[in-house]
Structure 1
Amino acid sequence: MLLTTGALTVSSPDAQGDSARTETAVATSAGVTESVVRVKAPLPASFGARPAACDWLSYLRYRSSSGPVASADADRVLVAQPGILEGAGAFDSVARNTVTRAAEQGRHIEFWALDRRSNCLEDRTGIASGDQHTAVDYYYRGKKVEGRTFAGFVGNDKLGWMAKLGIEQTVRDEYDLLAAELPDQGVRKNKVLCGGHSLGGVITGYFAAADFDGDPATTADAGHSQCAGYFALDTTVSTSLGDLSGSIPDDTNLPDVGLGYGVVQAGLDSGVLPRSLSAPVLLNPETMTLLAIAGVGALQDPGGEADLPSYLPANTNIEATNRFLFSKDTATFLTGSPAVKDFRLTNQAVLGSLMDDQSVPLAFLQSSVGFFDGGPITDKNFPAANGSSSQPGLFGTEYKAIPAVPHGPLYTWRDYDRVGDPDDPGYRSSDGTPFTAAGKEVTDIQELARSMAAQPLDFTEQYFPTKLVTDLELSTSPQVKRLVVHPDGLTAHPTLTVLAGDGLLAGRAPADLHPVIADGYQHLDVLTAAPVQNNGLPEPVSTALTEFARTPR
């Protein structure tokens, strides 16, 4: 369901003067009130020069419209850490679904979707215009929006302060935010449920084991003393990256952690190593912005014929990304023909091709939002052939599909809840395998568009701190091991683990987790799934979170 009332009125923290906290209403829809909260929390001087906006912490606050206004009076507060390359906006659907489900049972809970501090570098002016052409002109052609000119995507030379933005500061930020928003430690200990998605589960593990006053003998400040329980969404609450195989692409600029902690840190400090994680195709600020722009088009005119592929400027980065995402085989990738702009697609179909598990070839970006419609479909055998076992953790296991006829029919998008209907053509691969089925489709494409384009905090994370992931990969180094002060904090409270049936841990979840399995879900679906599924039942992730929040601690 789209937002029905309210407007985006968020202003930059730069303009907040001496206020230590701001809260701005975003919208109210279907009994859920959303706002964006910013809390001033300056970094230590040792981090060096940085934009003023980066001395603020931000989160999206979702609460029941009929519930208490004060967070401390809520029955529970769920606080969620995002995954890699992920922002607070990615939690939009699961947050709404969970708050709504609890309210139906007479309980008022809040869901806080956290933004990492580095998201302060993002400029959403073009996206917030609500017009796709305006957004493209703003980010890629230097045109002004409301008197503002885009300053450009931030280069490594201006990210020196991020060289120190690792796991220690990340968990400190969560602690400082909780202490500022819920000053009573007893309230935090009894009402807050701490968790996250993907990498957010590992961050939650370090938070649970952390000590925040420098004295291990005092435990009121310990991470586990800020939570009544933990939740993990297609991840585990741990201090290891071992369960997240496939969550980090192979071709990122991640430095070789075999160099050791000291060498890696020196490289980050000097700028010899990149301070922000990126890859030459799709996973960099310039191309990740395209995901939100595609979302704008789907909101603006879902069934209208898209001109985005032709309207985008021609440059090497965008061209390589388009070829990677929209080539049916290696020959097409190498020649660039036919290109995505040679096909007639609706705005919904453009977004679907960028995010659907039968289209995008990166498992950690996949959601199950329906399927192409309107014309012949063929196998997408690049970068991996359908039916092969090539890197399933990275590419996923679903057969990939692509429109077959350039300059032909207008390809539309069949939303998740229309897959399997009597008029569904039931597209199949060349080997006879159905590309999809109703039980494999769980996310509404318009809800996904809303999460990507209509939130004041981004769905994606354009500037992911390299140090955060190198710290976690160097978890056995003394500099990182010292952060695990209270290892028993990991098991101090009950943990809810919800896994995507076709996600990163599919078929290899540790036996002692006793997880809730969301059948047919991909890695992102645990965040984006629609409130009612094709089997007529309520969405299982939010259902499990609601039940977990209801259980006395």
Structure 2
Amino acid sequence: MMGAAMAAAVMGSVLTASVVSAEPTGRTEMPYTSSAPLAGEVLGSVVSIPAPLPAEAGPRPAACDRLSYLRWRSADGPESSADADLILVTQPGIFEGAGAFESVARNTVIAAAARGAHVEFWALDRRSNCLEDHTGTQAALRTGSLDTATDYYFRGAEVDGRRFAGHAIGADVAWLSHVGIEQTLRDQYDLLRHELSDPELRKRKVLCGGHSLGGFITGYFAEWDFDGDPATTGDAGYNQCGGYFALDTVIEAGAPSPGQSALPDLPDAVSAPLDAFFGSISTASPVLALPTVINPETTNLLALTGLAARLDPDSTDGIVPRMPDNPNIDWTLRTLLSGDYAMFATGDPDVRTLNATNEAVLGAILDDNSQPLGFLQVSVGFITGAPVRDKLFPVPATPEVLGSGFFGDALKASPVVFADPGVVYRWLDYDEVGTGASSPDEARYTDRGSEVTSIAELARNLSEPPLDFTEWYFPSRLPFDLASATRFEGHLHRDGVARNPVVTLVASGGIPLPEKDHPNERRWVLPGYKHIDVLTAAADQNDGRPEQVSQTLADFAADRVGSFTVG
């Protein structure tokens, strides 16, 4: 584990000052330093290109007239993307930024290199992320002090000559009403053409894919016509890619809809917020946000929780004592950490009195044995240090609940001891489960085969990349459009997905996915993986095998090298 002093030394140059390319077109590429074990073999950079929105989008910051993505490539591979053997280009899921792909990208580049192929991995960042302010997080990585970030975001402190202006609302986000499926697809098309101007090269060397919601965006991309003339197919989405990959999703031009039919009968206290969440995507609000749990403040707070675990994993003087005291944060903590309905309703015991390390707090929020919602779950180990009990809020982990798939397939555990300074809850990492370090309660809730992501790696991914893991401002028009995009004039090539091969990677404990009748699909089920694990799983697994998502993607890429033809 790395303490604050060592973290400061390692992260002193998280973002390098030099720009490695600055073309007349305004393209920039800036490398960033990572503390990842594979950082010496895989180079990471953030690329930005100019891409002005149409005038009718309305006023917005200048930064929002650009598109950005994270680029990973082999240190000993070609410097130019056009010279790579293959490029995997991926769309993020809901509330997800480009930084979420840090682990799977690095692992895939390494795995492909072992097969003799130099591949690149590009993670697209949605245009809405231009509104985010990462000043405090990036400064804290340089100083090694969590206070640098929390003082900036919560207490008005100045960092690098800047003060946090608060979260964007009202007129500041109104332009996002323009950013639906058409603009999102156009952004990907324009970026690919800017970076890889030769259409035959795109068809030969690009694989298009996505995680979660990103699979459905990719499905529409494959079937879109970008000049409005179905007779000219050089601009068709399926001709911008030579194949597709799905990360706990499907490549389909449709809408992800968990549907109430997928859920068991739930108490009103649970079903009402869920109805509000899914119903809110069709409201006039340009940003998808709830009064608590999911909104710009809480998604940034998740990144700060990762930052605390990254800088000082074993400290109990971490993120929770520094969190703001307001209804949004209070009810978010109750929702995520309460063991039963009484604790949630009364606030007794107060979840803020839990004496836990920074890693244990992060684990309690996202681990599949605690986080109730399947689409937010990751398998990062288990809580230890003091007794736990079955978690009964927001739903008990009964067979009918776990069988729905919506809440994941793992039993849920909750701490028992609060407000006792002599008791410290700690965290067992994924590879410590089932060893001598085991918690006495562990065997009831988990085993080594169902733990696949390192808590340390998750913390690093949440805080280090210059483009965020979490997405503050998710445009509500996008999922609304996905449900009705058949009405758009650009959706002309309804066989676009079927024109290219696809590899589908399904987390065994992920979200429920339909089986697709694709003429050339390879489908893999990943035992022990949850929905987020397909992005974050460690390179070395507990069963002795290398990480399976990256291995499968590397196989798919190696098979496709040199095999594409223009359709």
TM-score normalised by length of structure 1: 0.91
- Distance of aligned partners of 1:18 and 1:121 in 2 relative to their CA distance in 1, 3 Å threshold: farther
**Aligned 8 A contact 1:156 1:276 in 2:** no
1:237 deviates by: 0.5
Q: How does 1:405-424 map to 2 (within 5 A)?
A: 405-406=417-418, 407=420, 408-424=422-438
Is the contact between residue 383 and residue 439 of structure 2 (CA under 8 Å) also seen in structure 1?
A: no
| Post-superposition offset of 1:398 | 1.5
What fraction of aligned residue pairs are identical, expressed as a percent? 49
Equivalent-residue separation in structure 2 for 1:475 and 1:215 (angstroms): 17
Distance 1:11 1:299, change over 3 A: same
Residue 270 of structure 1: aligned partner: none
Is 1:184 matched up with 2:190? no
Name the counterpart of 1:345: 356
1:454 pairs, out of 464, 467, 473, with: 464
Q: CA deviation at 1:256?
A: 6.8
1:299 aligns to what SS in structure 2? Answer: helix
Matched with 1:222 is 236
Deviation (angstroms), 1:306: 3.3
Match for residue 534 of structure 2 among 521, 526, 530: 526
Structure 2 spans left out of the alignment, 5+ residues: 264-270
Superposed CA deviations along residues 486-520 of structure 1, whole A, max 9, x for unmatched, are 111111110010010110126x5447655111111
Show the counterpart of 2:373: 362
**Distance between the aligned counterparts of 2:17 and 2:401, measured in 1?**
46
Residue in 2 that maps onto 1:175: 189
Matched, 1:394 2:419: no
Match of 2:495 among 479, 488, 509: 488
Residues 95 and 472 in structure 2, CA contact (< 8 A), matched pair in contact too: yes
State the 1:388 CA deviation. 5.0
Q: What SS class does the counterpart of residue 342 from structure 2 fall into?
A: helix
SS at match of 1:219: coil
Q: How does 1:255-270 map to 2 (within 5 A)?
A: 255=279
After alignment, is 387-396 or 362-371 more displaced?
A: 387-396
Counterpart of 2:165?
151
Query: How far off is 1:333 after superposition?
Result: 0.6
Residues 236, 243 of structure 1: 8 Å contact kept: no
Q: Distance in 1 between matches of 2:375 and 2:441?
A: 24
1:281 is aligned to: 292
Shift of 1:7: 2.8
Q: Distance in 1 between matches of 2:279 and 2:16?
A: 36
Query: Aligned partner of 1:464: which letter?
Result: F
Q: Does the aligned pair in 2 maintain the 1:62–1:99 contact within 8 Å?
A: yes
Whether the 8 Å contact between 1:364 and 1:523 is mirrored in structure 2 is yes
The one of 309, 323, 326 aligned to 1:315: 326
Deviation at 1:255, TM superposition (A): 5.0
The within-5 A match list for 1:41-440 is 41-130=51-140, 131-242=145-256, 250-252=274-276, 255=279, 273-390=284-401, 392-406=404-418, 407=420, 408-427=422-441, 434-440=444-450
Could you say if the C-alpha distance between residues 120 and 135 of structure 1 is closer, same or farther in structure 2, counting changes exceeding 3 Å?
A: same
Contact 1:367 1:524 in 2 (8 A): yes
How many angstroms apart in 2 are the aligned matches of 1:9 and 1:242? Answer: 36
What letter matches 1:250 in structure 2? L
1:353 to partner: Cα distance: 1.1
**CA separation in 1, counterparts of 2:368 and 2:138?**
27
AA in 1 matched with 2:508: G
Alpha-carbon offset, residue 18 of structure 1: 7.0
> Residues 306 and 437 of structure 1: is their aligned pair in 2 closer, same or farther, counting only changes over 3 Å?
farther
> Is the CA contact (8 Å cut-off) linking 1:420 and 1:426 kept in structure 2?
no
- CA–CA distance in structure 2, aligned partners of residues 329 and 383 of structure 1: 7
Aligned pairs, number: 530
SS in 2 for 1:515: strand
Deviation per residue, 1:293-351 (Å, 9 max, x gap) = 11111111111223322222210000000111111100001111212221211111111
Change (3 A) 1:26 1:251: farther
Residue among 544, 547, 559 paired with 1:536: 544
Q: Is the 8 A contact 2:112 2:118 kept in 1?
A: yes
Shift of residue 160 of structure 1? 1.6
The aligned residue for residue 7 of structure 1 is 13
State the 1:424 CA deviation.
1.2
Larger mean Cα displacement after TM superposition, 418-427 or 179-188: 418-427
Structure 2 CA distance for partners of 1:532 and 1:229, relative to 1, 3 Å = same
Q: Which residue of 2 aligns with 1:261?
A: none
Name the stretch that deviates more: 161-170 or 380-389: 380-389
Distance (whole Å) between structure 1 residues aligned to residue 278 and residue 525 of structure 2:
31
Q: CA offset at residue 162 of structure 1?
A: 0.8
TM superposition outliers: structure 1 runs of 4+ over 4 Å = 1-6, 10-13, 16-19, 242-249, 251-257, 510-514
SS at match of 1:135: helix
Output the CA distance in 2 between the equivalents of 1:161 and 1:377: 47
Letter in 2 for 1:20: G
Amino acid at match of 1:137: D
Deviation for aligned residue 1:6: 8.2
Q: Which residue of 1 aligns with 2:33?
A: 27
User: What SS is found at the alignment partner of 2:171?
Assistant: helix
Distance 1:500 1:203, change over 3 A: same
Q: Equivalent residue of 1:111, what SS?
A: strand
Amino acid at match of 1:36: V
| Partners of 1:446 and 1:341 in 2: CA distance | 23
Question: Relative to structure 2, which stretch is displaced further, 535-544 or 151-160?
Answer: 151-160
Q: Does the C-alpha gap of structure 1 residues 252 and 65 become closer, same or farther in structure 2, counting only changes over 3 Å?
A: farther
Contact between 1:420 and 1:438, CA under 8 Å: does it hold in 2?
yes
Q: CA deviation at 1:405?
A: 1.0
SS for the counterpart of 1:345 is: coil
TM-score using structure 2 length: 0.89
CA distance in 2, matches of 1:163, 1:11: 34
Deviations 1:384-427 (A, max 9, x none): 01225348443223111122111141111000001111331341
Instruction: Assess if the C-alpha contact under 8 Å between 2:99 and 2:469 holds in 1.
Output: yes
Render the CA deviation track for 1:65-122: whole Å, top value 9, x for unaligned: 0100000110100000000111001001000100011112221100001100001010
CA 1:274–1:255: 2 relative to 1, 3 Å? farther
Alpha-carbon shift at residue 158 of structure 1 (Å): 2.1
CA contact (8 A) 1:379 1:401 kept: yes
Higher mean C-alpha deviation, range 236-245 or range 225-234: 236-245
Per-residue deviation at 1:231? 0.5
Partner residue of 1:501? 508
Letter of the 1:449 counterpart: A
What is the aligned partner in structure 1 of residue 266 from structure 2? none
Distance 2:340 2:32 in 1: 43
